Amino acid sequence: MDQSPYNPLEIEVRVQARWDSQKTYEVTEDTDKEKFYCLSMLPYPSGALHMGHVRNYTIGDVISRYQRMLGKNVLQPMGWDAFGLPAENAAIKHNTAPAKWTYANIEHMRKQLQRLGFAYDWSREFATCSPDYYRWEQLMFTRLMDKGLAYRKDSEVNWDPVDQTVLANEQVIDGRGWRSGAVVERRNIPQWFLRITDYADELLSGLDDLDEWPEAVKTMQRNWIGRSEGAQFGMQVCDANGRIAEGASSVEVFTTRPDTAFGMTYAVLAPEHPLVMEVTSEAQRQQVEEFIRTAGLASEADRTSAEGTLDKRGVNTGAFLYNPFTSKPVPLYIADYVLMGYGTGAIMAVPGQDQRDWDFAMAHDLPIVRTVKVPDGWEGEAYVEDGVAINSDWLDGLGVAEAKEKAMAWLESEGIGERKVNFRLRDWGVSRQRYWGCPIPVIYCPDCGALPVPEDQLPVVLPEDVTFMGVQSPIKADPEWRKTTCPKCGVDAERETDTFDTFMESSWYFARYCSPGADAMVDERANYWLPVDQYIGGIEHAILHLMYFRFYHKLMRDAGMLKADEPATRLLCQGMVVAETFRRDNADGSTSWLNPADVEIRRDEKGKIIGAKLLSDGLPVEIGAIEKMSKSKNNGVDPVHLVERYGADTVRLFSMFASPPDQSLEWSDSGVEGAFRFLRRLWFMSTGHIAAGAVEALDVSSLDAEQKTLRRHVHDTIAKVSDDIGRRQTFNTAIAAVMELTNHLGRYEDRSPQSRAVLDEAWKAIVRLMAPITPHVCETLWEMLGETGSVVNTAWPGVDEAARERDMITLVIQVNGKLRARVELAPGSDKENAMIAAMAEPNVTRHTDGKTIRKVIHIADKLLNIVAT
């Protein structure tokens, strides 16, 4: 048999056509098999696949293919997060409709994904902009309205006064509208919210059970939820002498440090606090009104001092509050360092124990009382650490924890206050004043108010064939679209013209994949597949998407649709794809960023990079920082070009080999070349073995030492690769282990019948070990090795533990912790025998002669350390 050259393009097209025609990756529920649901975050159809996608989806594909070879029923779906602002921008730019642009992108990107050979069940594919998808989201929302979990309240938006439209945060550039250039205003308009705060406690405690989620993600979510325990209590308005008038108002404050209440020297209301104007004295009225007008206007950057703290601006209201702990009045201020959106919008200020209060007290000449004893030599300002209570009457002498407890118990027994838990987490605002999104299914009746669209009128379909002017949403501009009648009383009514935040669609797509075609949001099939066994996506989604995803799953669970408590058991967040940048600073002060493909690197004779030049003009360019691939830095590498040149297997191999999945991956053209070289070598070596003809049966008992060593290496490699892919998810070291074994095979020259039998075992192992990573070439080699059936459906190679046993082990000999010799010993040798072998080594005795051996540490079959002085 002749050896043909490695021709990846020919191989890949042929193999993919077969997978396609045999529907290899389509799956159904099968209770006889263990299921495995592997999900990669669905892409936004921006137009073309980038390296970040390739990396994300290759990781998911490797895990899926590995799990399938373990015999599991593996679901790996793919779809499109199709709503969103970029489609509106593109529609304006290209004078088309957002829907048309989006569908064209999906067509294009689907082909690109298919060219990479990912094992997706395409029969489950959907785009989130399809009415068949979003109708269930609308139905769910109406149910949430019924349950009171969706509600409407006023909220601030960015308003462009020229374009007469709401702007997303990213459309506001330096305080101005991105198109009109007009100064953006803040406006309060009614918007819909989901009560995620009702689930704050469960979202927090649930993190403790997510053992296979990265700590970094869990920490970020914990901080975002921001649970804090403390006390809330009322303080009555009083006069300067502490006298409380009949029917005086009371101000509720929240504190995590009730133990410090004796050190309260003033109190503060947020500028938006409803009691501000009521309590403000006549004398202070003008100042307070002036402050409220200007509060929050100055940008944060302008108000930040060199030390990084914000100015503590505020003004005295002239009113006093009665401190129930001391029975004395404290002056009441308003200040913008107190936020209306957290706690009660009012605080007791204790400058001795809170740095913000300290800063404010210093700026406004307010007294400072320490209520926790500071350590000797303390030179700081506010003291927030643990310590003994002082100046606190009946709390004196207690530690912070005990004092807190006693203060809270006192507040409760006196009926002044109660224990209270507050969260930083806010309810999820889901209204967007955009066109290209799922219409919010609500009808406003002049008599009945806001009503959910009845189920039989769903879906509320977003018209797709629109002329998109960019100034305003077509459904807001169209007076006809919104016209409807009240489902309750039948009078003329109007539809909501806002659409949902696109995070809504990505919060439940994982469940819809499990119930294709269901005449409901999901059906029973979802409980077969869920929870997701492995979820893969970018760390940039650590907070928002992954929080909403968990929240929405709980909403679906509580609606009786799903059984599990959490949507995904294991999470892997892949790192960024980065590349070198090249720049030229132009004479006019601007910078040109040059693509790596157009630049040649220059090195010295040790291979160290000493410069770079542009290929087109031969003149030098500056080497910039290594940064995330982006259009702005022109350092992107197009995966499609690489696939055309080297094949999908090479691109997949390099992206898995260059670094572990959770670290950033530095792109390198020569690294891609190296991956290609490895596959070509694999091809030539294994087809060479095949060309040498049939192989006789392996007889393990007849192997000589070298054959045994080779076979041991094969089974050590199988064990390592299994562990690296399955448990550690360090695909780079798995590949390195296969490369090492391949190098061993290359050096192995004996072609006796039993050697060829061992080599045959080795090649069949390698082809299966590499199959999840480079499936096309492995599929082809598997056939050529004379195996029937697709490697996709073949069992993962098993480890023969007997083959891994060693006749001799290498024991490392140290003297005083320094390596001095290595000796070959039978495994299981005891300390005495190890010592005899060690003392026979001249390099050891040279370092022990004339010294007393104080101690010998022996780690069986590993190491002997002789301590001699």
Partner RNA sequence: GCCCAAGUGGUGGAAUUGGUAGACACGCUAUCUUGAGGGGGUAGUGACGGAAGUCGUGCCGGUUCGAGUCCGGCCUUGGGCACCA
**Residues 188-227 within binding reach of RNA (CB under 7 A):** 215-216, 219-220, 223-224, 226
User: In residues, how long is the chain?
Assistant: 869
Kindly tell me which residue out of 211, 413, 588, 606 binds RNA, with binding defined by CB under 7 A: 606
Residues 463-492 close enough to bind RNA by CB under 7 A: none
Q: How far is the CB of 856 from RNA (least distance, A)?
A: 9
Q: How far is the CB of 116 from RNA (least distance, A)?
A: 21
Residues 48-87 close enough to bind RNA by CB under 7 A: none
In the complex with RNA, the residue whose CB is nearer, 351 or 772, is: 351
Place of tokens 């819909």: 192
In the complex with RNA, the residue whose CB is nearer, 50 or 495, is: 50
Place of tokens 């290594």: 626
Q: How far is the CB of 733 from RNA (least distance, A)?
A: 5
CB–CB of 806/827 below 8 Å? yes
In the complex with RNA, the residue whose CB is nearer, 93 or 677, is: 677
In the complex with RNA, the residue whose CB is nearer, 764 or 847, is: 847
Kindly tell me which residue out of 117, 230, 567, 772 binds RNA, with binding defined by CB under 7 A: 230
In the complex with RNA, the residue whose CB is nearer, 375 or 490, is: 375
Kindly tell me which residue out of 673, 805, 824, 832 binds RNA, with binding defined by CB under 7 A: 673
Residues 128-157 close enough to bind RNA by CB under 7 A: none
3-class SS of residue 100 = helix
Q: Which stretch binds RNA (CB under 7 A): 305-313, 435-443, 445-453, 828-836?
A: 305-313
In the complex with RNA, the residue whose CB is nearer, 279 or 675, is: 675
Place of tokens 């495994």: 827
First-to-last alpha carbon distance for the chain, in angstroms, is 67
In the complex with RNA, the residue whose CB is nearer, 617 or 749, is: 749
Residues 816-835 close enough to bind RNA by CB under 7 A: 816-819, 822
3-class SS of residue 182 = coil
Q: Does 814 bind RNA (CB under 7 A)?
A: yes
Tokens describing residue 14: 């042929």
In the complex with RNA, the residue whose CB is nearer, 300 or 480, is: 300
What number of chain residues touch RNA (CB under 7 A)? 93
Q: Which stretch binds RNA (CB under 7 A): 133-141, 309-317, 687-695, 782-790?
A: 309-317
R_g (Cα) of the chain, nearest Å: 35
Residues 541-570 close enough to bind RNA by CB under 7 A: 542-543
DSSP string covering 291-312: HHHHTTTS-HHHHB-TTSPBP-
In the complex with RNA, the residue whose CB is nearer, 48 or 812, is: 812
Contact flags string 691-730 toward RNA, x per CB under 7 A? -----------------------------x--xx---x-x
Q: How far is the CB of 776 from RNA (least distance, A)?
A: 19
Place of tokens 């030390």: 307
Residue 797 identity (one-letter amino acid): P
Kindly tell me which residue out of 242, 624, 660, 726 binds RNA, with binding defined by CB under 7 A: 660
In the complex with RNA, the residue whose CB is nearer, 250 or 730, is: 730
- Of 796, 771, 792, whose CA–CA distance to 653 is shortest? 771
Contact flags string 410-429 toward RNA, x per CB under 7 A? ------------x-x-----
In the complex with RNA, the residue whose CB is nearer, 122 or 423, is: 423
Residues 327-356 close enough to bind RNA by CB under 7 A: 336-339, 341-345, 347, 354, 356
Kindly state the helix (H) or strand (E) to which residue 536 belongs, with its residue range. strand 534-538
Kindly tell me which residue out of 70, 640, 736, 839 binds RNA, with binding defined by CB under 7 A: 736
Q: Does 310 bind RNA (CB under 7 A)?
A: yes
Kindly tell me which residue out of 24, 180, 228, 833 binds RNA, with binding defined by CB under 7 A: 228
Using CA atoms, how far residue 760 sits from 424, 516, 705, 782, in Å, is 61, 43, 18, 11
Q: Does 539 bind RNA (CB under 7 A)?
A: yes
CA 408/CA 418 separation, integer angstroms: 7
CB–CB of 394/517 below 8 Å? no
CA 482/CA 476 separation, integer angstroms: 8
Residues 8-37 close enough to bind RNA by CB under 7 A: none
In the complex with RNA, the residue whose CB is nearer, 305 or 793, is: 305
- Of 739, 769, 732, whose CA–CA distance to 59 is shortest? 732
Q: How far is the CB of 758 from RNA (least distance, A)?
A: 19
- Which DSSP state fits 449? E
Contact flags string 243-272 toward RNA, x per CB under 7 A? -----------xxxx------------x--
Q: How many CA atoms lie within 13 A of 813 on its CB side?
A: 22
Q: Does 308 bind RNA (CB under 7 A)?
A: yes
CA 433/CA 450 separation, integer angstroms: 17
Q: Which stretch binds RNA (CB under 7 A): 194-202, 279-287, 429-437, 740-748?
A: 740-748
Q: Which stretch binds RNA (CB under 7 A): 74-82, 110-118, 537-545, 560-568?
A: 537-545
Q: How far is the CB of 655 from RNA (least distance, A)?
A: 11
Q: Which stretch binds RNA (CB under 7 A): 41-49, 278-286, 587-595, 736-744?
A: 736-744
In the complex with RNA, the residue whose CB is nearer, 464 or 740, is: 740
Q: How far is the CB of 482 from RNA (least distance, A)?
A: 35
Sign of the torsion angle spanned by Cα atoms 597, 600, 605, 607: negative
Q: How far is the CB of 73 from RNA (least distance, A)?
A: 28
CA 812/CA 57 separation, integer angstroms: 43
In the complex with RNA, the residue whose CB is nearer, 353 or 755, is: 353
- Of 320, 316, 310, whose CA–CA distance to 291 is shortest? 316
Q: How far is the CB of 261 from RNA (least distance, A)?
A: 11
Q: How far is the CB of 165 from RNA (least distance, A)?
A: 26
Using CA atoms, how far residue 117 sits from 362, 372, 510, 649, 803, in Å, is 66, 65, 21, 9, 35
Q: Does 733 bind RNA (CB under 7 A)?
A: yes
Q: How far is the CB of 424 from RNA (least distance, A)?
A: 4
Kindly tell me which residue out of 94, 187, 243, 862 binds RNA, with binding defined by CB under 7 A: 862
Sign of the torsion angle spanned by Cα atoms 546, 552, 558, 564: negative
- Of 670, 667, 637, whose CA–CA distance to 655 is shortest? 667
Contact flags string 354-383 toward RNA, x per CB under 7 A? x-x---------------------------
- Of 536, 627, 507, whose CA–CA distance to 83 is shortest? 507
DSSP string covering 693-762: ---PPP-GGG--HHHHHHHHHHHHHHHHHHHIIIII--HHHHHHHHHHHHHHHHH-----HHHHHHHHHH
Q: How far is the CB of 131 from RNA (least distance, A)?
A: 33
- Of 47, 105, 91, 46, whose CA–CA distance to 470 is shortest? 91
The strand pair at 176-177 and 73-75 is best described as unpaired
DSSP string covering 827-852: TT--HHHHHHHHHT-HHHHHHHTTS-
Q: How far is the CB of 410 from RNA (least distance, A)?
A: 17
Strand pairing partners for 190? Answer: 154
- Of 792, 791, 802, whose CA–CA distance to 716 is shortest? 802
In the complex with RNA, the residue whose CB is nearer, 338 or 430, is: 338
Q: How far is the CB of 821 from RNA (least distance, A)?
A: 10
Q: Does 740 bind RNA (CB under 7 A)?
A: yes
Using CA atoms, how far residue 529 sits from 36, 520, 523, 588, in Å, is 7, 17, 11, 60
Tokens describing residue 404: 């807190």
